[in-house]
Structure 1
Amino acid sequence: MRRLLPDMFSTAAFRLTLGACVVLAGVTVLQFALIYWRTTAYEVERADRLLDREAALMAAEPAPDLQEQMRLWASTDLRLLVTAAGLFDADRQPIAGNLTVWPETLPVDGAIREITVHPIDQGVRTIRAEALPVAGGRVLVIGRGLRDLQQIRSIVLQALETCLIPALAFSLLAGIWLSRRALVRVDRIHLAIDRIMQGGLHERLPVGRHGGMPMAAGAALMPARAHDEMERLAVSVNRMLDRLEQLLDEIKGVGDDIAHDLRTPLARVRAGLDRTRLRPAESAGQAVVAQQAAIDRAILDLDQCFAIITALLRIGEIESGRRRGGFASVDLRQIAADIVELYEPVAEAAGNELVLVPGAAVMLAGDRDLLIELAANLVDNAIKFTPSGGVVSVVAGHLDGRAVLRVVDTGIGIAVSEQQAVLGRFYRSDKSRHIGGSGLGLSLVAAIARLHSAQIVMSTGAGVGDRPGMVFEVIFPA
């Protein structure tokens, strides 16, 4: 709790609350200012109308009666409407009323102005007044005080204090509560991150409205409805951690796989060289032939090693995503046609038939060279694992508005339990261990598909006899 309190005031939620408080205060003050302005304008307009009416009535009085009217005004309820009045002669000397000094700033034009006067029965006051000539060459001055405006100003200020202070206090308390709630969730996330940094790669960030418990690995799928941005962020980070854990697991096995796959050809190279070196003395011609055969075998084995290393480097380059910059519009149907033309001799040599299913152009955005490599690996893989007399079909078309490349064979197939495993590096199923290869072809296909955000779908095809066949579908995004 001691650590939460100072941190609470530096959170984004609290700063956002302070900003909201400033906006609330500004809007409230502006609202009350508009109310005061409109009320003041209305009161001034009402006072001016009353003054005009009273001035017209008093100015209409005959000259002998006006002085008597002024006397009566001082003792009647008219004082409620007119707070200051005076009758002056032509020399501006007072005749009647409570104004004994002519207001110098008030011209005799019948217009209403705001002036400061000193009535004999009141202190210095600011009033709305007008001066107009009356019968007998005299001048009448009447005015109405602005006491009502002062009362309105006081009421508005009191209402502003009554509304604004509780609202700001409530907003600050809400900000403190929201900040503490956010800090509790952030602390849970920090604890999960600390466990992950200490090596617990199976840990996941807590996802849930109240922080929840850390999710297990592989369970960071996006919920049907995320409650807030913190939950969406935690879900995205958990998906990233799932992918990182998967990649780390693959990296852990790569060293063993490389050592296993390179050890056999390198051991054959060394054994062949040893046999050649220890071979008994023979004729010169036989020695040359033996040495040449040993060199040829060593070159083949070393080529296999280089092929494995090249394939690994190629997969690493593709998975880095640097090839996305070379994406352009390509025709998947034309790529399939080129691959079929290239591999027809290979299929004939294996006793199989390679068929391209006709169709229209299939355009998509991608790297042409990589897509050729993807199709070539799928076709080569299908020919390699299809016994003589089989058929390999290649189709480029559309599925639900998405481009799809489909390779169908009548070969030995892949068990359902192994269909995802074959996309990993160096994986060789029991049925294919007698067939040459490094186990990286489908890994390369999977890397190219991921680069193009494509999905690989595998299923058993229309096989022949005890051969279930296989269908590989690479479905590209719309």
Structure 2
Amino acid sequence: MLWIDLFRTATFRLTLGLVAVIIVGMGLQFSLLYGEMNGYEQLRSNDLLHRSAALLVREEPHELEVKLRERSTNELRVFLNGAAIFDRNHHCIAGDIPNWPKGLHSSPAVQPLTMTLPDGSRTMMRFLVVEVLGPAGEEDRLLVLARSRHMADELRYMVWHAAILSIVPVVLFSLLAGMLLSQRALARIKSIHQAIERIMKGNVHERLPVGRGRDDLERLSRSVNHMLDRLEQLMGEMRDVGNDIAHDLRTPLARVQARLDRASALSHDLSVEKSEVFDKAMGQCRRDLEQCFSIITALLRIGEIESGQRRAGFATMSLGPLVTDIVDLYEPIAELENITLYVVLPDHPAQIVGDADLLNEVLANLLDNALKFTHQGGWVRVSVGLYEDGRVWVEVRDTGIGIALEEREAVLGRFYRADKSRHIPGSGLGLSLVAAIIRLHDGILEIEPNESEAAHTGTVFRVILPSFSVQNMTLSSG
């Protein structure tokens, strides 16, 4: 199973979408949490500033100065980050705020300002300005209290750190769960795909795997199985109709042939001239009947093969002897037609799994077509070879009339006759039978023009069969 297939599954994409939603939700949650905590810290800072100011304004002026000068050693520094007394001209009298903060107004409200620290860094501070009494005979002074936002910064850091620490494992766990779920979905899809492949190869009794689940994939598999049941029923009815017609035709045709035989036996009572005419007519009738019988037999054979019932007779065999025997059988016919017929076999045996009788029919039909459409003085070559991936190929190459490019697919249909071959006797079912047998063996039939150096016309029929190991696996799984 490829990783790229795992990432392309709808389950994994849905998991990525859920991960994104989770991340957005957690971001909103932590933002809301930080907002609440920041608001609470602001209220707390403002409350501390007001409470500290309320305590300090009660002090006597000289005592207040002493406390501010000594705040680094007492508890006042715990609550305040800065405190100082300024006169009305904003000159520092006492405290650790040496200069009047820029932008600070003499207002009773808490004011947030950005300050530059001695080390050059900038920080946000909250200031509160209140009026306090000055020494006797002097004007009132301004008490400036400051509190930094380091607590809010620490809260922000903690929230951000907690968000990172919590989002990372959630995302990793979600991705892992998505991969596991996608792998499970891929396994189900793979089993469905294999079942569909077997159905396409002719096993009409195969059905999609259905478990006990109630998800969409299970419901879809059940619906497809119901559809396949109905299609198999319809195909069976159509096949039965064709078979019944073929069987019903055999009986009256056999009776006609028997009557013709009896009538032929009585032809000696006729005159010589009438007898010759009668015998000629009888011969034509017999040929027509034989053609009818051959068509019916071919249709029944194609129906039997397409049903997939012949797979039970598959066995391991060597293709070389099979080709040699069929070439020996057709060699006398080739000699009578003044056609050169020869065979080329590989050095190593070509092992396949199949039905010997059916493959004999394939070779016989291809050789019969090649000899039938090749003129005198031409040649027909039957070759067997092996591809590097273990597949076996059988090639019938001739120097006949050839097949046009637009007709190469059509000649595999039933009853199709090319324009060049209509004057030659035949039923148009031979290549249909060949195609059905090759599909039964999970093979491929290729039709190409003969473009060898020794010929510029003709046709090449190439049958490609799966490798021996693949055929064994298919046979065992079937």
After TM superposition, the score normalised by the length of structure 1 is: 0.49
Q: Which has the higher contact order (CA 8 A, sep 6+)?
A: 2
